[in-house]
Every structure is written in C-alpha cells, then in structure tokens.
C-alpha cells in the first residue's frame, strides 16, 4: 500500500507558469521528501523537509508541510520544458527506525514550450 | 564521486526463470534498499540491507531475496518469475539510517514474457 497520494495525477502547463502539486499521507512522519523521475529512469532527490519545518526553498522549488493536515505541497516556479517529469513524494514514518521510504503514485508534469 | 550503479539496465526473462540484479552503492554509503516500481505507480519498498543482513522487509513474497557483500554492494534475486514481476527495480543507498539522504540508481527494467 502507498502512504502518500499526490494530486493532481497529471498537470500540463506552459513554460514560465508555476506548477503546484500536493501530497497527502496517513501516518506521523519523521520527514517528507520530493523526488523527480524522467521517463521511467532513476529518482532524483529534490528536497527534504523535516516534521518540525513548515516551509523550505531550493532554487525554483518551494515545499510546504502541514503536519496537522498530513499534507505537503511542491511548487515549481517559472517552469521550463526540462521540468517535464513525474514527481513523487516519499515519507519516512516516525515508527520506522531504519529509513524505509513510502512513496505516492506521483504527479506527471508536462511543460510545453 | 560515483553515484549508485545498477546492472543490467534492461533484462528480458521468461516466466518461471530466475533473475539477479546488482547494485553498487554510492561511495561512503553502507546501506542498500531495493524498490519495485510498476508502470504508472510509485516505488514500493522490497527490503533493506545493512552489515550484510536484511534489516527490514516490505510486503513481498519469499521469491524475492537479496544479499549484501562486504564491500556494501548488493544483489536482488527473484525466483519463479511471474508476468507481474515486470517492473523497474530501483536501488537506493544511504549511510546507516538515511538521515543524510538517499541516492537512487537509474534502475533495471525487467520484462517477464
């Protein structure tokens, strides 16, 4: 079973627009991470936000975390065609001592020039 | 600094056969986790190896087994292949419990016919 659920499942935008995707999860977490995957290849780590953090920035990425609602959002500003990929959230539960990640089903983002 | 290396890149096997996938972790990492990603889905945790022992296991049958060698590299073995085992198999390495983050390989695409 998957811990997280991303919304929307798919997103199509034009270059320069912002892309926002959301992730909801079910249990208490230690941290939440966002990954990008191009065309069924390996996962690239984007950003990690800990349970005691509310917002984090990295370049054009902004991540928020609301532990009371068990949800997170990833914002990509000024999108580029190279941002076309699938984006996954992954959680590390507080009950897990060894670092197992639980992924959602992902959001497919298409950025058209 | 080499990242995570997985081999082979692609593999086609016949139902009922056995397969071995290999993973070399990032330099400095001592823990290897394996994930299965079916088409259109998020990765699912298979198991994790640390100090040459299986430390944690996901909801996968005993047909899935693994090994970790003294140099921290790892193998994933799948016996009696089923059509449903067709997926992208991802290896992720980390240092101990992964507080410092995870690095994923590019994966092995397994097709069972």
Name every chain A residue with its beta carbon within 8 A of the beta carbon of B59.
Answer: 1
User: Span B44-52, mean pLDDT?
Assistant: 96
pLDDT of residue A41: 86
Domains in chain B: boundaries: 5-112
CB B16 within 8 A of CB B80: yes
Question: What does the pLDDT read at residue A3?
Answer: 65
Domain ranges of chain A: 5-112
Which of helix, strand or coil describes residue A70? Answer: coil
What token pair was written down for A30?
Answer: 């230690």
Asked if B11 and B109 count as a contact pair (C-beta separation under 8 A), the reply is yes
Distance from CA of A44 to the nearest CA of B (A): 7
Let me know the angle formed at the C-alpha of B8 by B38 and B72, rounded to the nearest 5 degrees.
Answer: 95
CATH number corresponding to A5-112 = 2.60.40.10
Interface contact flag, B106 A88, Cβ < 8 Å: no
When scoring B37, B42, B87 by the number of chain A Cβ atoms within 10 A, the one with the most, hence best to mutate, is B42
Sorting pLDDT into bands at 50, 70 and 90, what band is B76? very high
Res A94: pLDDT: 86
Distance from CA of A32 to the nearest CA of B (A): 11
Token reading at A47: 């950003």
Q: Does A10 touch chain B (CB under 8 A)?
A: no
Percentage with pLDDT > 90 across chain A: 82
10 Å CB burial of residue A101 (0-12, 13-18, 19+) is buried
pLDDT in tens, A26-69: 999 999 999 999 987 899 999 999 999 999 999 999 999 999 99
DSSP structure class, residue A84:
-
Question: Considering the domain B5-112 in this protein, what is its CATH number?
Answer: 2.60.40.10
- Chain A residues whose beta carbon lies within 8 Å of the beta carbon of residue B100: none
Question: Tokens 């022992």 correspond to what residue?
Answer: B53
- How many angstroms away from the CA of A60 is the closest CA of chain B? 20
Return the higher-pLDDT residue of B17 and A6: B17
């Amino acid at each position: 079973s998957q811990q997280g659920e991303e919304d929307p499942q798919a997103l199509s935008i034009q270059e320069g627009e912002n892309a926002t995707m959301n992730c909801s999860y079910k249990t208490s977490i230690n941290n939440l991470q966002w990954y990008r995957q191009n065309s069924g290849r390996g996962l690239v780590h984007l950003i990690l936000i800990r349970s005691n953090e509310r917002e984090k920035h990295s370049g054009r990425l902004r991540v928020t975390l609301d532990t009371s609602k068990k949800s997170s959002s990833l914002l990509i500003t000024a999108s580029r065609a190279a941002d076309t990929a699938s984006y996954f959230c992954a959680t590390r539960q507080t009950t897990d001592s060894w670092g197992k990640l639980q992924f959602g089903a992902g959001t497919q983002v298409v950025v058209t020039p | 600094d080499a990242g995570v290396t997985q081999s082979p890149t692609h593999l086609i096997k016949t139902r009922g056969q056995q397969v071995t996938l290999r993973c070399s972790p990032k330099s400095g990492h001592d823990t290897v986790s394996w994930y299965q990603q079916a088409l259109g889905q998020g990765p699912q945790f298979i198991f994790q190896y640390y100090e040459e022992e299986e430390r944690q296991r996901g909801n996968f049958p005993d047909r899935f087994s693994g090994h970790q060698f003294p140099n921290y590299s790892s193998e994933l073995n799948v016996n009696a292949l089923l059509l449903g085992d067709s997926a992208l198999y991802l290896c992720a390495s980390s240092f101990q419990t992964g507080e410092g983050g995870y690095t994923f390989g590019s994966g092995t695409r397994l097709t069972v016919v």
